[in-house]
Amino acid sequence: MDKNQACYLCKGCGLGEALDFDNLEEVLGESGVSEVKTHDALCSPDGVALIQADVDGGVNAVLIGACSSRVKTDEFNFGSQVIVERASLREQALYCSSDEEEAKEDRQMLAADYLRMSAVKLAKSNVPVPFKLELEPETALLVVGGGVAGINAALAGAKAGVQVYLVEKEAALGGFLGKMAKLAPESPPYQELEDTGLEELVAQVEADGKIKVYTGNTVDKTAGAPGNFTITLSGGDTFRCGAIVQATGWLPYEPEKLADELAYGTSPGIITNVDMEAKAKAGDLGGLNGVAFIQCAGSRDQNHLPYCSAVCCTVSLKQAMMVKEANPEAAVYVIYKDIRTPGQSEEVYREAQRKGVVFIRRDEDYPKISESGGKLAIETKDMTLNDTVEIDELDMVVLATGLKPNNPKVVDAPLVALGMDQEAAKKLAAESKAQCDSWSVLNLQYRQGPNLPTLKYAYPDSHFICFPYETRRTGIYTAGAVRRPMRVSQAVEDATGAALKAIQAAHAAAEGVAVHPRSGDMSFPEFAMQRCTQCKRCTEECPFGAINEDEKANPLPNPTRCRRCGVCMGACPERIISFKNYSVDMIGSMIKSIDVPEEDEEKPRVIVLACENDALPAIDMAARKGHKWSPYIRFIPVRCLGSVNLVWIADALSSGIDGVMLFGCRHGEDYQCHFIKGSELANVRMSKISETLDRLVLESDRVRVEEISFNEVDRIPEIISEFMETIEEVGPNPYKGF
Amino acid sequence: MATKAYDKSFREEVYQNVDSGEDVKLCMQCGVCGITCPLRGEMTHGPRQLWSLIRAGKRDEVMNSPDIMLCTSCYSCKVRCPRGVKVIDVMHGLAHYALEQGIVPRKETSKFGKAFWDSIYKTGRVDETEVPMRYTLMAGPIHGIFNMLEMMDIGRALLAHKRMKFKIGPGLPPSKKIKGMKGLKKMLDKAKAMSPGKEG
Amino acid sequence: MTYFLYPGCSLEAGGSHYLVSVEAVAHALGLTLKEIDDWNCCGASIHYVGGTELQTKTLNARNLALAQKQGGYDIIAPCSSCYIQMIKTAHEFEEEPKLAEELNQILAEGGLNYTGGVKVRHILDVLYHDLGVERLAAAVKKPLTGLKVASYYGCQTTRPYGEYDSVENPHTMDEILEALGAEVVPFEHKAKCCGSGIFFTEMETCAPLAGGILGEAEEKGADMIVTACPMCQMNLEIYQPRLNKILGTEYDMPVVFVTQLMALAFGGDFKKDAALDRNIVSAAEVLKNAAA
């Protein structure tokens, strides 16, 4: 494409008074941008019209020197065919710099550098051309799992007008919902137990022409990518679909493991909540005069399930109410550590109390259960009475066991690792994770394995609060207890959310644009294959398993699986991966365009490669909040720290830049990286930077990685000033002037 | 540590016979009432533990607890209880129930309260002169006189500042009744018959 | 504006200076107060010793029924104990249909009936919300400039429903006092309990409660404690010598009603309108000093 570029500088928000615009025009001219216009308020209708008129006249690459690229995005959008590059003069040159007269020169240099970098970026950017699948894109939805979540996802998909395939391994739809007697109150005033409504749901599915049901089937193979998955079922049928919802539910925690603690197996009166539900469904609750429920039976216990299953309390409340309904005179006890009743279930708790259920708070020790003469007795600590109490004459003790992920290969790593040393335990945990990842519902034909990658406790998920339903496999969404323990009403909500996400993903694939978090991005990584050395780093490191391999280990990219984070670009030692508007060369050239003053000027230069998801907004907010920092800092936004290629560090240091900082998201167990592994990978890579620094004979203090989260606004100036002190101690980069 | 067995009979008794007794069911043992009470330092159990004792069936410990009559009626607990338990009403109900069983949780307050209620039941109002006098005299003739003498300074001060009506001798002349006393008495009797544990 | 006045037993005796000053303030502000004819005692805090909960509610339901029959004006209950008892019955009558039915069965015994809807108001509520501090400030003829007061609401004044002021951190009386020209000292005990209905019979136990209130007022440099509850006024004032004996203190802190200060600031007579001669711990001197 022929680039016809122009630059627009804004004099609003104080920029006009703070900067020398003649000088900036000169700088731009030297950078190859000769067409420069200024305006007093570029974001005003008048200012926007100025740019629009030029665009209409043929300008297709616009450099805007005004405020942060995160604001005024609607005003400065001139359509997909016009490249817009923003230099954040307001936040990064004006707001953050001292307003004293002697600081003017530094500020001017700061603004000039941002314009130089933007000019280079503009020159090297191209308008992205969306990726097109070879075959006609498919928008049909596959829903795996015919329980409450799956049925609702299928219905939601069909309602949205999409063809749905619903696959269930059992002979009939229903899943665990089909095994439930009643639901805990789900609607105001939360006092009456409710019917499961399963028959009605199944009838709706059967009546819906857009839903094709495969019962008695599992998925043998899932090949392809969003917009073009090919599914092979155990029954032999194959079909194409655009996106997938996995709603395969949960497994109950094995009560046999509680034989020591809670005497499971010693008496027919000691049962689990799952057994209790079956009894209730069979109408077998008559004649009970004394029943006790023991909460957290194996839950929130480092030796069993370390987490809270979130539903067992409500389930026990419901079952206690059922016992009371069958016999109002029955003595019913709930022995708990904490009653956890999320949402409106607190009302259910109240209702169970009104019905006369007695609640006893215990400590961490399990109650002792004993049997004599056909009756059960419990001895437990009563925390409120600060005493040991006895409850006898019980007909039944119900153990409120928790929910496990639906993966038969899941082992309780903490349990097996107990008593082992750290290293052995880690090894065991890794082995059990590998085991768990080797089993799959979908049997993905992916380079990185057949299962959805799992996180903590073997649940497949990306970030369950920030990005529910997302998995690390684009176009595949999880709904219901498959992704975390949840109750029926939450699974229903989940199903709708996941189905809509899946439909979106199929449409995005068809249009060749990215899904969350870079929704709508048309760029995608392109591989200069003739230079590939088959090192496999990209295929291994892609957080989303987007890249398959051929037999010779050549990468086979699947752009519709890609989230456009650039981790592959950061990984590639040969630098053969680039986007139309984001490349190793582009950022490298931006770094090299920075004007590095001579050593005797005593003006060091430090670049900060900042994640544009969290660090960049934090920087913007810090500047807007009035924080000031060193004028020797130059920020360069990156898509993800995972996209940082080591060569940029070398480029920077060899061109006389004194220090490099990387601002990325928190990684590790509570990671906040939008691309899951980006910041972690960057950290690993940077730990190996010493090699590069040694080659250049430079101090390792010159490079630092910092974790910044979105809200850590006040840390920004602290981190910068601390780093500037370090740089001062280390002294000027000896490469200056080379 | 002693092992206590749970017994359901007392909690049923409280639910049925004590004013607002059913509210005990709703307690979720958060402890806000106990920590909020201005006299928490003076109580052995405090409301939360009393509720637990009721549920556990500890009749003697509850009925003989002086705490049930140590409520100042400041309403802090009621205001702060996240479950809306009428903590004060239950405390008062328990005290009333104990007194009916012949248990006197706090001697002085019981005496004073009785004189207070008698005045209402007889006249419809409370005579601030008569009630304390009756109360002081309840200690018996000799103690009563001493008590009266002890109260003399306060009585004199109130009289001198026109904040007490002058009367000769205890209860003389009898306090004036409200006009509708007859009706009020009927109402109070009916209300008593309809109160928890009194039906039938 | 016409309101019912429910003086209650307290204002007839120990709180007589409250009644005098309430009437003077009402007069100065053009409020008409009508006493509910043939009202009965509310039961106060100690009712439960002799009566059941339903009997206490009966007492209050009778007053509400009388008020409804006699015109249905809002009822001003200056005594906080009366206020809380009456508003509690009024609330529960509206919220619990079963109770409402029972109460009407009972009222029928005396030929009465209550259909709900009569509003029970504290005097602070009426002063603050119906009149507003600006109107109160405009009525001030002799501002209380220089007077430092601890604004003490006590426990029952704003509870239990928080109808007109925060139950935890009330402010209406502070603002009223500021409108009179007084300086309100910060006072953490503003809504803490003084011992209330059991103070008299459990004085040793409750002494630290009252002591805390008097102590903070003194510590904050208040010239006096101002209250809107006759039980607080009585407990904190007339038993001060007793408290001093129990606690080993030497408090000599005037405790006056907010309406007494209002009557004075509105230009009323020290005795006739403000009834300040009826305070046992005299406030005459601090008031004179403040005015000077």
Cis peptide before A734 (omega within 30 of 0): no
Indicate which of C39, C53, C103, C203 best probes the interface with B, i.e. most B CBs within 10 Å of its own CB: C53
Give the chains touching A; criterion: ≥3 Cβ pairs < 8 Å.
B
Two tokens at A141?
Answer: 């939805």
Tell if the CB–CB gap between A353 and B11 is shorter than 8 Å. Answer: no
- Cβ–Cβ contact B105 with C under 8 A: no
**Residue C88 sits in the same domain as residue C230:** no
**Residue B39 sits in the same domain as residue B118:** no
Nearest to A219 by CA among A182, A246, A180, A259: A246
**Residue B74 sits in the same domain as residue B118:** no
Q: Where are the beta strands (DSSP E) in chain C?
A: 2-5, 32-35, 75-76, 120-121, 148-152, 183-184, 224-227, 255-257
Alpha helices in B21-101 (DSSP H): 32-36, 46-56, 59-63, 76-80, 87-100
Distance (Å) from the C-alpha of residue A388 to the closest C-alpha of chain B? 5
Q: What is the mean pLDDT of residues C1-20?
A: 92
Number of domain units in chain B? 2
**Residue C86 sits in the same domain as residue C166:** no
Tell if the CB–CB gap between B6 and A349 is shorter than 8 Å. Answer: no
- Cβ–Cβ contact C289 with B under 8 A: no
Q: Determine phi and psi for C161, rounding to 5 degrees.
A: -105, -5
Q: Enumerate the residues of chain A whose CB falls inside 8 A of the CB of residue B48.
A: 384
Alpha carbon distance A297, A272 (integer Å) = 9
The confidence score (pLDDT) of residue A736 equals 86
- Are the beta carbons of A435 and A409 closer than 8 angstroms? yes
Tell if the CB–CB gap between A385 and B4 is shorter than 8 Å. Answer: yes
Q: Which residue positions in chain A have pLDDT lower than 50?
A: 415-417
Containing domain of residue B184, as a range?
107-194
Distance (Å) from the C-alpha of residue B191 to the closest C-alpha of chain C? 5
Tell if the CB–CB gap between B154 and C239 is shorter than 8 Å. Answer: yes
Report the mean per-residue pLDDT for chain B. 86
The confidence score (pLDDT) of residue A407 equals 87
Closest CB to B184: pick one of C13, C40, C44.
Answer: C40
User: Considering the domain boundaries, does residue B162 fall inside one?
Assistant: yes
- Do A and B make contact via 3 or more CB pairs under 8 A? The reply is yes
Give the chains touching B; criterion: ≥3 Cβ pairs < 8 Å.
A, C
The confidence score (pLDDT) of residue A417 equals 47
Distance (Å) from the C-alpha of residue B42 to the closest C-alpha of chain A? 18
Alpha carbon distance B154, A682 (integer Å) = 82
Tell if the CB–CB gap between B120 and C41 is shorter than 8 Å. Answer: yes
Q: Which of residues 365-404 of A touch B (CB under 8 A)?
A: 379, 382-385, 387-392
**Residue C82 sits in the same domain as residue C166:** no
Containing domain of residue C206, as a range?
136-291
Half-sphere exposure of A487 (CA within 13 A, CB side): 22
Last residue of a domain, one of B40, B68, B100: B100
Report the mean per-residue pLDDT for chain C. 95
**Residue C96 sits in the same domain as residue C180:** no
Residue C60's domain is classified under what CATH number? 1.20.1050.140
Alpha carbon distance C95, C271 (integer Å) = 44
Tell me how crowded residue A545 is: count the other CB atoms within 10 A of its CB. Answer: 20
**Residue C286 sits in the same domain as residue C141:** yes
Closest CB to C109: pick one of B93, B119, B183.
Answer: B183
Tell if the CB–CB gap between A385 and B6 is shorter than 8 Å. Answer: no
Of these ranges, A202-216, B33-47, B142-156, the one predicted with the greatest mean pLDDT is A202-216
**Residue B96 sits in the same domain as residue B142:** no
pLDDT tens-digit series, residues A503-561 = 999 999 999 999 989 999 999 999 999 999 999 999 999 999 999 999 999 999 999 99
**Residue B84 sits in the same domain as residue B128:** no
B110 has a pLDDT exceeding 60: yes
Residue with the larger pLDDT of the pair B7 and C60: C60
Residue with the larger pLDDT of the pair B146 and A368: A368
- Got the DSSP string for A610-661? EETTTHHHHHHHHHHTT----TTEEEEEES-GGG--HHHHHHHHHTT--EEE
Tell if the CB–CB gap between A358 and B48 is shorter than 8 Å. Answer: no
Alpha carbon distance A312, A644 (integer Å) = 45
What H or E segment, with its residue span, contains residue B102? Answer: none
Tell if the CB–CB gap between C51 and B114 is shorter than 8 Å. Answer: no
pLDDT tens-digit series, residues C96-145 = 999 999 999 999 999 999 999 999 999 999 999 999 999 999 999 999 99
Last residue of a domain, one of C121, C155, C171: C121
The confidence score (pLDDT) of residue B198 equals 78
Domains of chain A plus CATH, in order, are 1-127 (3.40.50.920), 141-249+441-511 (3.50.50.60), 255-405 (3.50.50.60), 526-577 (3.30.70.20), 582-738 (3.40.50)
Alpha carbon distance A458, A448 (integer Å) = 16
Tell if the CB–CB gap between B178 and C38 is shorter than 8 Å. Answer: yes
Alpha carbon distance C74, C81 (integer Å) = 17
User: Considering the domain boundaries, does residue B2 fall inside one?
Assistant: no
**Residue B116 sits in the same domain as residue B146:** yes
Tell if the CB–CB gap between A390 and B5 is shorter than 8 Å. Answer: yes
Two tokens at A400?
Answer: 């409120």
CA-CA-CA-CA torsion for A168, A170, A176, A179, nearest 10 degrees? 150
Q: Which of residues 30-69 of B touch C (CB under 8 A)?
A: 38-39, 42, 69
**Residue B36 sits in the same domain as residue B89:** yes
Its pTM stands at: 0.86
Please report which confidence band the pLDDT of residue B1 belongs to, taking 50, 70 and 90 as the band edges: very low
Number of domain units in chain C? 2
The confidence score (pLDDT) of residue B199 equals 61
Q: Which of residues 115-154 of C touch B (CB under 8 A)?
A: none
- The three-class DSSP label of residue A730 is helix
Tell if the CB–CB gap between A387 and B11 is shorter than 8 Å. Answer: no
Indicate which of B8, B12, B61 best probes the interface with A, i.e. most A CBs within 10 Å of its own CB: B8
Residue A92 is given by DSSP the state I
**Residue B120 sits in the same domain as residue B190:** yes
Nearest to B26 by CA among B47, B42, B5: B47
**Residue B116 sits in the same domain as residue B86:** no
Amino acid at A507: H
Distance (Å) from the C-alpha of residue B114 to the closest C-alpha of chain C? 5
The confidence score (pLDDT) of residue A670 equals 81
User: Considering the domain boundaries, does residue B180 fall inside one?
Assistant: yes
**Residue B86 sits in the same domain as residue B149:** no
The confidence score (pLDDT) of residue B166 equals 57
**Residue B124 sits in the same domain as residue B188:** yes
Alpha carbon distance C262, C274 (integer Å) = 8
User: Considering the domain boundaries, does residue C248 fall inside one?
Assistant: yes
**Residue B41 sits in the same domain as residue B76:** yes
A320 alpha carbon, distance to own chain's centre: 38
**Residue C82 sits in the same domain as residue C182:** no
Place of tokens 């003790």: A397
| Inter-chain Cβ pairs, chain B and chain C, closer than 8 A | 212
Two tokens at C45?
Answer: 């805090």
Give the chains touching C; criterion: ≥3 Cβ pairs < 8 Å.
B
Alpha carbon distance C272, C282 (integer Å) = 16
- Are the beta carbons of B58 and B94 closer than 8 angstroms? no
**Residue B47 sits in the same domain as residue B120:** no
**Residue C102 sits in the same domain as residue C180:** no
The confidence score (pLDDT) of residue A737 equals 76
The confidence score (pLDDT) of residue A608 equals 98
Tell if the CB–CB gap between B11 and A358 is shorter than 8 Å. Answer: yes
**Residue C221 sits in the same domain as residue C161:** yes
Closest CB to B6: pick one of A354, A383, A389.
Answer: A389
C284 has a pLDDT exceeding 80: yes
Report chain B's C-alpha Rg in angstroms: 20
Two tokens at A256?
Answer: 């046999």
Two tokens at A531?
Answer: 């230079």
Place of tokens 């494409």: A1
Alpha carbon distance A460, A452 (integer Å) = 6
- Cβ–Cβ contact B11 with A under 8 A: yes
Last residue of a domain, one of B100, B132, B151: B100
Closest CB to B1: pick one of A331, A387, A391.
Answer: A387
Indicate which of B69, B77, B163, B179 best probes the interface with C, i.e. most C CBs within 10 Å of its own CB: B163
Residue A91 is given by DSSP the state I
Closest CB to B126: pick one of C41, C199, C202.
Answer: C41
| Percentage helix, strand, coil for chain C under 3-state DSSP, each rounded to 5 | 50, 10, 40
Q: Enumerate the residues of chain A whose CB falls inside 8 A of the CB of residue B28.
A: 339, 349, 353, 359
- The three-class DSSP label of residue B172 is coil
- Cβ–Cβ contact B25 with A under 8 A: yes
- Got the DSSP string for C202-271? SHHHHHHHHHHHHHHHHHTT-SEEEES-HHHHHHHHTTHHHHHHHHT------EEEHHHHHHHHTT--TT
Please report which confidence band the pLDDT of residue C41 belongs to, taking 50, 70 and 90 as the band edges: very high
Residue A664 is given by DSSP the state E
